[in-house]
Amino acid sequence: MNKLLLMIFLITFQIGCDKDDKHGPDDEHGHNEKKEEHDKEKDDHKDHDKDKHDEHGDEGHDDHGDEGHDDHGEGKEDHGDEEKGEHEEEEGTVHLSSQAFLRSGIKVAKVTKGSLKGTLKIPAEVQSDPDYVAHISPLVEGKIVSVDVRLGNRVKVGQKLATLRSVTLGKIRAELSKATALRDVAKQTLNRQERLRSEGINSKRSLIEAQYAFQQAKAERRAALSQLRVFGARGGSGADMDLTSPIEGSIIKRHATRGENASPERSLFVVADLSKVWIIGRVYEQQIAQIRKGMKASVTLNAYPAQTWEGKIDYVGAAIEEDTRTLPIRVELANPDGLLRPGLFGSLRLSSNDKKEGILVPLSSIQTMENKSVVFVQGDKEGEFVSQPVTVGRQGKTHVEILSGLKPDSKIVIKGAFILKSELMRSELGHGHAH
């Protein structure tokens, strides 16, 4: 039974192997052929797509690269030039919308022509006339014994101010006294010799010697007297001398104190006659062309803002002062009440009879930008205002003369110019246009 089963298994196994040997290689070969054919079709399809893509890419990419990119670059460059030109054209220009213009309260008017009566305002200072000022100091060293005046006292010519005691002065006076005595003795000797000679008693030689001695004594006395005068003394005795005022005026400075030493290098008193004073104005370079001698001048001082003094320019400086870069001018004024004290500051308003007409604009129209005077001129478009640099001339109380920069028919902003200046500065800081 077992043998029968074994034989059936072997027969069945042999039949399965024969079947595999018969169909296996053919199937494998067919499968390989189908696979190779499929791969070939796939490669052909890829080559076809690649050729088609290359052909399309060469044409499309070339057109886009050579033409598209060039056009785009040129367009960008043209756009940049257009923006640049527009920005340059708009520089210094303010644009306001209709609503913004109404809210701003800006007013526009045509410039006017005329002449200014009050013209130029310049800084000024009160100074004393040097011809009426005396600085008093001793010509010899000494000690101050007494002081006879106080600060602010009025003094007359020759009035004593102080007493000085000097050893040097005492010696010179002693020499003068000695020389005076010798001169007197020589004079008496000469008189006696002349009398004896007239009587024929003495010799001519004795007379000549007496004459020589007298002349020598006179010379020595003159020398001592001259030295005494150099030190400010004309006579007297001892070591004391008086300091006196050479002019009439007021004591405006005093540096003398009893008991202290005095020397020629230090001034003890300053006496000034302030009945007339100078008003010294400082004219800037750009204003010099408007100044001339004889112009009427009105003086106002910071100490007395409600009071004015009238005069004329009597001196115009010949050279610019290097430290201030200004030209000095002078107005001399009477000062009967003493209000014009040296050192006070104020201003000079100068006017002339020049009736020449020019372009005038209100003071409120002038604005300063980058250290330049500008006015805002109405543009061609609605709400457009252009900052126009101008050269300013003479200035009055309400108007200023324009020397260059505006035309006679220009329309300018006469109210609200500061608003436009602020808007323009804001737009420039923001690198944009003002609207």
What's the pLDDT tens digit per position in 366-399? 999 888 899 999 988 888 999 999 988 777 778 8
Position 48 scores a pLDDT of 44
Mean pLDDT taken over the chain:
79
- pLDDT, mean of residues 53-67: 42
Question: Which pLDDT band holds residue 260 (cuts at 50, 70, 90)?
Answer: very high
Tell whether the model's pLDDT for residue 152 goes beyond 50: yes
Residues 319 and 330: their CA atoms lie apart, in Å, by: 14
Tell whether the model's pLDDT for residue 315 goes beyond 50: yes
Task: Find the range with the poorest average confidence among 3-17, 147-161, 190-204.
Answer: 3-17
List Cβ<8 Å contacts ≥24 apart for 184-193: 185/217, 186/210, 186/213, 186/214, 186/216, 186/217, 186/218, 187/214, 187/217, 189/213, 189/214, 190/214
Position 346 scores a pLDDT of 95
Q: What is the DSSP letter of 340?
A: S
Name the β-bridge partners of 297. Answer: 311, 350
Q: What is the DSSP letter of 396?
A: -
Between 55 and 344, where is the model more confident? 344
What's the pLDDT tens digit per position in 169-220? 888 888 888 888 889 999 999 998 888 888 888 888 888 988 999 999 999 8
Position 117 scores a pLDDT of 66
Question: Which pLDDT band holds residue 317 (cuts at 50, 70, 90)?
Answer: very high
Structure tokens given for 356: 């020449």
Chain centre distance of CA 426: 26
Backbone phi and psi for residue 246, each to the nearest 5 degrees, phi listed first? -85, -15
Question: Which pLDDT band holds residue 352 (cuts at 50, 70, 90)?
Answer: low
Position 6 scores a pLDDT of 53
Position 340 scores a pLDDT of 95
Burial class (CB in 10 A: 0-12, 13-18, 19+), 385: buried
DSSP H helical ranges for 233-301? none
Between 19 and 368, where is the model more confident? 368
Tell whether the model's pLDDT for residue 78 goes beyond 60: no
Tell whether the model's pLDDT for residue 236 goes beyond 50: yes
pTM of the full predicted structure? 0.51
